[in-house]
Structure 1
């Protein structure tokens, strides 16, 4: 399974915000840190704010911070939010698509079980799990170990 770039950016942003636990971070700072497009990152941040995982503080000294829910959210939930469409093959779509072999195909069941297993594993990890007690990550994202 390949995740889209928005999901990648969302997880990186949330990890960066978790590392900067007590401060506000600008989207530009995160975009520069990861070498990604600020406009793409802003779209991702907006989705995370709407979901309640990230808080946005407006104004001159504003920025982004992880909400309490953001620390506790599962990686699987972030993937579901950002991916939206997890239809890995045509027959997963509403209406089943137009594949000739759909009525007899066992691949659909296997792929469905694989997708569920993928998400089940991701549901076992929170953003906090990815960042807590991770001195090397703190060093890379914050310049100092926490």
Structure 2
């Protein structure tokens, strides 16, 4: 199974946010930190906000924060949200199936079951389990 870059970048952003849950993160800062497109990260942030993973606030003190503690955010739920418009194979897409084997195929149900097992296994871990370690603060004596 291969996840989209959309999900990869979303997980990276959440890992960073989980390393400092009290901090608000701007999309511009995250884009610069990860050397990625701000426009692309904005789309990901919007999906995370619609899914109830982050809350966003505009303005000088704005940015995005996690809606819940990192330990309360299961990874399978995040991946499911970010991959929601990317079916594993065409025949799993609603209304887009052009497969001529549809009525006699045994693969579709097995792929759906494998995807469910994959997401369930990810749900055994939370965002807290994969959060980036905090950068050590430099002391001046």
TM-score interval, normalised by the smaller of the two chains = 0.7 to 0.9
Paired residues, what number?
137
Q: Which residue does the alignment assign to 2:135?
A: 143
Alpha-carbon contact 1:90-1:96 (below 8 Å) kept: yes
Distance in 2 (CA, whole Å) between partners of 1:87 and 1:98 is 14
- The Cα shift of 1:95 comes to 5.7
TM-score (norm 2): 0.82
CA-to-partner distance for each residue in 1:25-44, whole Å, 9 max, x for gaps?
Answer: 22122111111111111111
5+ residue gaps, structure 2: none
Unaligned runs of 5+ in 1: 132-136
CA distance in 1, matches of 2:96, 2:6: 26
2:13 is the alignment partner of 1:13: yes
Could you tell me how far 1:109 is from its partner in structure 2? Answer: 2.6
Corresponding residue number in structure 2 for 1:39:
39
Contact 2:7 2:82 in 1 (8 A): yes
- Aligned equivalent of 1:116: 116
Determine which structure has greater relative contact order: mean sequence separation of CA pairs < 8 Å that are 6+ residues apart, divided by chain length: 2
Shift of residue 17 of structure 1? 0.7
TM-score by length of 1: 0.80
Q: Deviations over 1:19-78 (max 9, x none)?
A: 012222221221111111111111111221222211223221322211226651211111
Name the CA shift for 1:70/1:55 in 2 (closer, same or farther; >3 Å): farther
Moved more, 82-91 or 13-22: 82-91
Question: Superposition RMSD on alpha carbons, in Å?
Answer: 2.2
Which residues in structure 2 correspond to 1:1-146 (within 5 Å)? 1-68=1-68, 71-94=71-94, 97-131=97-131, 137-138=132-133, 142-144=134-136
Pick the structure with more helix per residue: 1
Q: Find the aligned partners of 2:15 and 2:78 in 1 and give their Cα distance.
A: 12
Q: Where in structure 1 do 4 or more consecutive aligned residues deviate above 4 Å?
A: none
